[in-house]
Structure 1
Amino acid sequence: MYQHVTHIIFDMDGLLLNTEELYTIAFQNMCRPHGKSYTWDIKIKCMGKKAQDGARYVIDALDLPLTVDQWMEQLHDQLESLFTQAKLMPGAEKLISHLKSHNVPMGICSGSTREGYLAKTTHHRETFSIFSPVVLCGSDEDVKQSKPHPDPYNVARSRFDPVPSAGSILVFEDSPNGVESGIAADMQVVMVPDPNIPHDLTTKSTLVLNSLEEFKPELFGLPPYQQS
């Protein structure tokens, strides 16, 4: 059913780290003073986008009296206190360690800014040092359009050395925008969606899992986990 792959690109927020729930808290903190609620309908639309694009969407959707710069400044104020609490999602460390032990090239493609990335990975430096390339769309001038456009994953692919074919890359995503981005870049995509995401927004992915713990590498021609 699935094409064999040689390279992996991971999204980060909500996929490797529990930062999507932290974003929800932060965005609610910023919307509440204006009498507005950051709902799941809005969240789904901006998940995976560049930080600035996500900010613009929320501001427009809720008609907030803020500029994108003001929004980003308020978000920055919460980075150290909130996002440094980020924890690895279930199955993430096991999968990353397994792929590393078999020398599978792995990269990151995130909508985050570099500043946000550093805050979120504060307590996970060793784990994230494994990834190369790391494409942070919120700070990367080569990424002209954010997810769901293919630019983010095309840029990430181009930074592997040597550059692999798109068909030999497996993408891991948690958001509908991210899934569409990977597919538009001609890659297979494993989706690990939040339970709040409607089922009809998960159907475009190659494979849907409840958790990274369920992933079977051998389905895509990768070395299987050793039986314990």
Structure 2
Amino acid sequence: MDGLLLDSEDKYTLCTNAVLSQYNRPPLPWHIKAQLQGRPGPAAGRIFETWAQLPVSRDVYMQQVTAMQKEVFPECKALPGVEELLAGLRGRGVEVALATSSHSGNFALKTGHLGALFSVFDEEHRVLGDDPRIPAGRGKPAPDIYLVALETINARLRREGKREVLPAEALVFEDSVPGVEAGRRAGCQVVWCPHPELLLLMEGKEEVILAGRMGEHKEEVGGGEVGGVEGAGKQGGRKKDAPGEIGDGWGRLLRTLEGFPYEDYGIKA
């Protein structure tokens, strides 16, 4: 969700930099922010604290940054192409679920004014960062959040007597590097639509990222969305939690979600 569907990643940076400046610390650089994106709060917090070296406790920092976030998160807007993509997927009969590391409180702040946009995700198909079905230590870049999101779809399909969607038939949309790895480790195809600054930082590493082989998966603590598409059987026999292979065609870089190529994924009008 953050940085993929909504402009909330820039708002995170805005709030973080405002607090950093109070303690005469430099703005958050992209090589650190790239490590925070997509990760659950506790894991991201440890990385940030190691870099920031603030002269105050984590509790004090969180109080300050949270107060700012409460002011700016209700101003979140959809990123280019998002409204058309969500409507296009639902209109073509694609099953969709939301998988985000944002916890319930922040999710409500960011989306409370965007009911129409998020109505495409039924309540049972929303998996948030504090969802108890995500075990401790299994947030992104571990695959669990995407497997849980897919299971919410399959649980309903079973109730309706319909065929379940296999991981190999699912397409994960991500903006973060840890998120891409999570999607690939879940056995899904992935579309990576990164922030322009992240793409610049990762120049030359695109194929490694798309394969989920940046080595982000280190069993850390609890974005994107999942939809069923064609393409089962391409990764038969793959090891559980394993990333993909470089150049296997299961990862794709898009600079924007505008004009999404449905046909390339067997999604028919």
SS of aligned partner of 1:223: coil
Aligned residue in 2 for 1:143: 134
For the pair 1:30 / 2:19, whether they are aligned, the reply is: yes
What's the TM-score, normalizing by structure 1?
0.87
Aligned residue in 1 for 2:4: 15
CA separation of 1:182 and 1:68: change in aligned 2, threshold 3 A: farther
SS of aligned partner of 1:212: coil
Aligned residue in 2 for 1:215: 260
Is the Cα contact below 8 Å between 1:90 and 1:213 reproduced in 2?
A: yes
Q: What runs of 5+ residues in structure 1 fail to find an aligned partner?
A: 1-11
Superimposed CA distance per residue, residues 30-72 of structure 1 (whole angstroms, 9 cap, x where no aligned partner): 2222222211111001100012321221112222244444443
Root mean square deviation of aligned Cα: 1.6
Letter in 2 for 1:199: E
Letter in 2 for 1:22: K
Aligned residue in 2 for 1:6: none
CA separation of 1:184 and 1:69: change in aligned 2, threshold 3 A: farther
Aligned residue in 2 for 1:119: 109
Letter in 1 for 2:8: T
Query: Residues 13-162 of structure 1: matches in 2 within 5 Å?
Result: 13-37=2-26, 38-132=28-122, 133-137=125-129, 139-144=130-135, 145-160=138-153, 161-162=156-157
CA separation of 1:52 and 1:75: change in aligned 2, threshold 3 A: farther
Is the Cα contact below 8 Å between 2:12 and 2:69 reproduced in 1?
A: no
Aligned residue in 1 for 2:215: none
Q: Which has the larger radius of gyration?
A: 2
Q: What runs of 5+ residues in structure 2 fail to find an aligned partner?
A: 158-163, 211-250
CA distance in 1, matches of 2:40, 2:91: 31
Aligned residue in 1 for 2:203: 199
Shift of 1:73: 2.9
Superimposed CA distance per residue, residues 79-114 of structure 1 (whole angstroms, 9 cap, x where no aligned partner): 331111111010000011111122211111111111
CA distance in 1, matches of 2:109, 2:70: 6
CA distance in 1, matches of 2:107, 2:204: 30
CA distance in 1, matches of 2:40, 2:32: 15
CA separation of 1:22 and 1:182: change in aligned 2, threshold 3 A: same
SS of aligned partner of 2:196: coil
Is the Cα contact below 8 Å between 1:55 and 1:72 reproduced in 2?
A: no
Aligned residue in 2 for 1:4: none
CA separation of 1:66 and 1:170: change in aligned 2, threshold 3 A: farther
Percent pairwise identity: 31
Q: Which has the higher contact order (CA 8 A, sep 6+)?
A: 1
Shift of 1:165: 1.1
CA separation of 1:153 and 1:82: change in aligned 2, threshold 3 A: same
